Amino acid sequence: MKRNDLSADQQAELATFVARLSAAGWEMEAWDALLDAGADVSPEAAATYSGPVFDLRLEYHANDRFVRFETEERDGDLALVLHMHPALGLAALLERVVAIQDTLDPGNMGDVVKSFVPLSDPLLIDTDDGLQRVTA
């Protein structure tokens, strides 16, 4: 989307995404400059974080109002891809992501995914068979 196509709510969510993740040490990709220049951008924001075990990536997709969450192993293989549609607001979802960014590992991944269920409606996991709904 172009910045002037974003609703006030979408612009507020975009600002929340950038501010919260920047404050938590995530590296923001330079989509703001492209949006300001009138470019059509999707996702509208993206950020990366190098955790102790996984490299993490979050994307904010304003048009469909979801966050794509990826965990990548150090060898470059994707370990997990979630599509999270904020049920309690984007800020609550981002707080949960920030809370697990330094503790996510293969041993707790299932519990971490389950912890997103009440915050996302729906919570979808990307599998070899396509997107599947995750329930508690």
Q: What is the largest CA-CA distance in the chain?
A: 44
Q: Which residues of the chain have pLDDT under 70?
A: none
Whole-angstrom Cα distance, residue 101 to residue 41?
Answer: 26
Stated pTM of the model: 0.92
pLDDT at 2: 84
Average confidence score pLDDT of the chain: 92
